[in-house]
Amino acid sequence: MKKPSNSSEISRRDAMKLITAGSAAGILGLFSSPQARAETRITPPYTTGMPPVKIKSVKAIATAPEGSNLVIVKVETTEPGLYGLGCATFTQRAMAVITAIDSYLNDFCVGKDVDNIEDMWQSAYVSSYWRNGPVLNNALSGIDEALWDIKGKRANMPVYQLLGGKSRIAVDCYAHASGPTPEAVADRVQQFIDQGFRHVRIQQGGYGGVGTMEKKPDFVEAGFGTEQDQYMDQHTYLKRVPEMFNVVRKRCGEDVELLHDIHERVEPVDAINMIKELEQYHPFFIEDPFSPENMKWFKHLRAATMVPIAMGELFNNINEFRDYMVDQLFDYIRVHISQIGGITPAMKIARLGEWFNVRTAWHGPGDTSPVGHAANAHIDLAVWNFGIQESHFWSEKAQEVFKGCQTYKNGYMYINEAPGLGVDINEKAAAKYPIGTRSRWTVRKSDGTIIKP
């Protein structure tokens, strides 16, 4: 029987190779310790890994080509021309993320190996001791995604290949139809159907119907709050949503999948009753029925109706919702990937979902950068339990700043096949669109009470 070989045994042929290679170290290796021999053994190049590459600098690039603040992290390496990009967009507090990147993560990362993404994630995550907030998680996502981008470039493969390869032809998406009236929303839905979309999210006005309420709120009359504060009448909203579904179903038929985002803006018990009413229109999913402060309400929601639920763009960390996923209290996990810290934690969440048949529906609004949308899409292509992807159509300005933006055909999102994440940034063009510090998230009831969020 042939004896199995191990590192302390070198065959005659290997020894000859070492000798003919004229390697003094190799010859020494024949007679020295097993460890020294292992160090000098000849291995084919595909098993040796790649020469070490270190992080040279980490910096934030801020830009707002479409008006929303976007933050990108650029990780430059000791390998000339090799860099990675990651999305670190927390649009409402972009300056705080930029500080975290430029003042802290640069220091933390420079000189470290680009290879060990998991180790970088774990060590950076605890490097502030106090952790797991939106600012630091977004900054961390920028590093994480940039390192995946670099790994893909080094391997000469798109990132989805590193995640296991394709599970599907392309990324099935939903488009956004909104309008001031249900009829206007239905017209928009029809346009998307005609373009080949199978899924459309419907909203009358802004989230919660903001901007479409006829009544003038009492807080404005009383001079309470500021002029920018928005008004929402929860009662009107709760009545309007089923009406909107009814009109859209009548006009656009039963085949199109309809989605809706509650955006947490009503009392949990009211959300439950409204979702029950929507059953007859069989929605594809209803999104964010409760704020993350109200997780215990899911038990009551599930007991009342089995309308599919998507949840979680405000989540920070898998520990906040693990039990709710495991208990199958929602159907689609909707995290904002940069908010949870990037591709590394998103893959863990996706895999956890596979065990419990909870599917992915990553957050993909205009305040996720094209780099972030690419990260969404690479995971969408690779994991088995992909559900649906929120789409965003990039303007010319955005495409001037970001090369390699996602494209759409027949309701599918396509990414380019370039190595890494496939999106590049033109820093000169980015500088033409400075970011701002205003965020408009004050929504009030008529009496002035703040509505979350």
Binding site for Mg ion (CB under 5 A): 261, 313
Q: Give the Cα separation of 100 and 58 in Å (integer).
A: 11
Pairing of strands 83-87, 309-311: unpaired
Widest CA span in the chain: 94
In 101-252, which residue ranges form alpha helices assigned H by DSSP? 106-109, 117-126, 134-155, 159-162, 182-195, 218-221, 234-252
- Whether the CB-CB separation of 155 and 419 falls below 8 Å is answered with yes
Query: Which tokens in the block code for residue 70?
Result: 């976007």
Phi and psi for 242 in degrees, rounded to 5? -60, -35
Q: Tokens 């670099």 sit at which residue?
A: 150
Query: Coil, strand, or helix at residue 293?
Result: helix
Pick from 77, 89, 91, 385 the residue near ligand GCO by CB under 6 A: 91
Choose among Mg ion, ligand GCO, none what residue 365 binds, the Cβ cut-off being 5 to 8 Å by kind: ligand GCO
Report whether 44 contacts 17 (CB < 8 A): no
Cβ 321 to Mg ion, closest distance in Å? Answer: 15
176 given a catalytic annotation: no
Considering the complex, what minimum distance in angstroms separates the CB of residue 174 from Mg ion? 12
Residue 365 makes contact with ligand GCO by CB under 6 A: yes
Instruction: Using the rule CB under 6 A, give the single segment among 97-105, 152-160, 361-369, 379-387 that binds ligand GCO.
Output: 361-369
Q: Which does 198 bind (CB under 5 to 8 A by kind): Mg ion, ligand GCO, none?
A: none
Q: Does 144 bind ligand GCO (CB under 6 A)?
A: no
Q: Does 206 bind ligand GCO (CB under 6 A)?
A: no
Active site residue 414: no
Name the DSSP letter for residue 5.
P
Q: Rounded to the nearest whole angstrom, what is the least distance from the CB of residue 364 to ligand GCO in the complex?
A: 7
**Residue of minimal Cβ distance to ligand GCO:** 365
Distance spanning both ends of the chain, measured CA to CA: 71
Cα dihedral 362, 193, 263, 392 sign: positive
Binding piece for ligand GCO, criterion CB under 6 A, among 8-16, 236-244, 346-354, 362-370: 362-370
**Distance in angstroms (rounded) separating the CA atoms of residues 417 and 207:** 35
Catalytic residue among 176, 199, 260, 263: 263
Residue 427, Cβ neighbours under 10 Å: how many?
13
Nearer to ligand GCO, 77 or 368 (CB): 368
Q: Which of 74, 93, 240, 263 binds ligand GCO (CB under 6 A)?
A: 263
Q: Per-residue x/- mask for ligand GCO, residues 265 to 304, rule CB under 6 A? A: ----------------------------------------
Does 261 engage in binding with ligand GCO (CB under 6 A)?
Answer: yes
Burial class of residue 306 in the structure, from the number of CB atoms within 10 Å of its CB (0-12 exposed, 13-18 middle, 19+ buried): exposed
Q: Which of 125, 207, 231, 332 is catalytic?
A: 207
Q: Does 264 bind ligand GCO (CB under 6 A)?
A: no
Residues that bind ligand GCO (CB under 6 A): 91, 261, 263, 313, 363, 365, 367, 390
Active site residues: 207, 263
